[in-house]
A and B are shown apart, each in its own frame.
Chain A
Amino acid sequence: MSAAPLHRRDVVRDILAPRKPELLVVGGLGSPSWDITATADNPRDFCLIGAMGLAVPVGLGLANAQPDNRILVITGDGDMLMGMGALATVANVHPRNLMIVVLDNERYGETGGQPTHTAGVTDLSAIATGAGIPTAATIRSQDELTVMIRNIHEGDGPAFYVVKIATEMPGTVLPSLDGAFAKDRFRMAVLGKA
């Protein structure tokens, strides 16, 4: 019996529901950033709209700079596949305050839904484990999601979760396309200065 499919907007809303002020979110380009923005246009979130493959590195640099805050990267399987080396870098830096969630629709959703390698034989959480990330899991059910969400907000990083989601595309909800504004807004919220 396979579990009912998880829906990306619900997953992201549930992940962000218990957020505390210490949580800072980095969104990977495209659909994950639309999911984050659909939940709330929060100044403590920074959404990439380009720079494919760099969501995890941005989260890592932020985690290094902000050890007292908790950093959550929410990105897609396509973005993660482009920058898999960063998982080895994260594992070796070992930031206790960095959590990574990959919304895995097994598709390049934003560009028309072409299958990614996770639709084939590739297992991203096994790659994270092999890279040396101590907590790595694939989430397929609401129960597993509940455990994951608790760990994201309370557990020790680095942790890496692949959430298998339905292939639906619930629509574009754009954050500001002006990166300079987004950056200044984030720094004002976190640092009190642009």
Chain B
Amino acid sequence: MKTDAADWPSDIFSVLCAREIKQVCHVPDAGHDQLIRLCSAQNDMSVTTLTTEEEGVGILAGAWLGGQRGVLLMQSSGVGNTINALALPAACRMPFLTIVTMRGEWGEGNPWQVPMGQGAPGALEAMGVMLFRVDRAEDITDTVNAAAGQAFNNMCSTAVLISQRLIGAKGFE
């Protein structure tokens, strides 16, 4: 059965389940709202709300030390908060997976989102994180699956960047 291409949060959720993700950390973004709800309803996933995104990098490193896989959900402005923390998975050759909802790039309504939204891919790359961009909903399953495989098979850091085009331009958020 083919799922509705527009229901991409459910597609991400299915990949996270198949990849045995047990810890989900987030500072909420409206674009991640549905995925956060799906994860929270899943009994064997622990969902942690963070005060700032770099906490998530630490929690997921701890999760890996304890034998669990995790994912960090954040918006592109949160990428800026994680930069030095990304040294932890890099220096320790731990897997790190994040799914980033992009802002500031597709008719954005809030000019304050533009600098970090535009800077997020470069900041991640500067810290050695491999990028997997998704521009179309029908690519989401394959792309998240590839990013997870890349991270957990090769002990490296990967980020899925979900284009603002999928989420829609936003005003004030």
Contact = CB atoms under 8 A, between A and B. Distances in A.
B146 interface: no
Interface string B50-94: 111011111111111111101000000000000011011001111
Given A51-B88, A180-B93, A93 B48 contact: yes
Determine chain B's interface SS by DSSP, over half rule.
helix
B110 interface: no
B63 A61 contact: yes
A52 interface: yes
Contacts of B103: none
B49 interface: yes
B154 interface: no
B46 interface: yes
A190 B58 contact: no
A48 B62 CA distance: 11
Given A54-B54, A179-B93, A183-B93, A61 B59 contact: yes
Given A50-B87, A65-B22, A85-B51, A180 B92 contact: yes
A59 interface: yes
Contact of A50 (B49, B67, B88): B88
Determine chain A's interface SS by DSSP, over half rule.
helix
A165 interface: no
A89 B51 contact: yes
A64 B68 contact: yes
A12 B93 CA distance: 28
A184 B94 CA distance: 9
A189 to B, nearest CB: 10
A60 interface: yes
A17 to B, nearest CB: 24
B91 A179 contact: yes
B87 A86 contact: no
A62 B63 contact: yes
A57 B94 CA distance: 15
A175 B59 CA distance: 22
Contacts of A183: 64-65, 92-94
A186 interface: yes
B52 to A, nearest CB: 5
Given A51-B88, A52-B84, A190 B55 contact: no
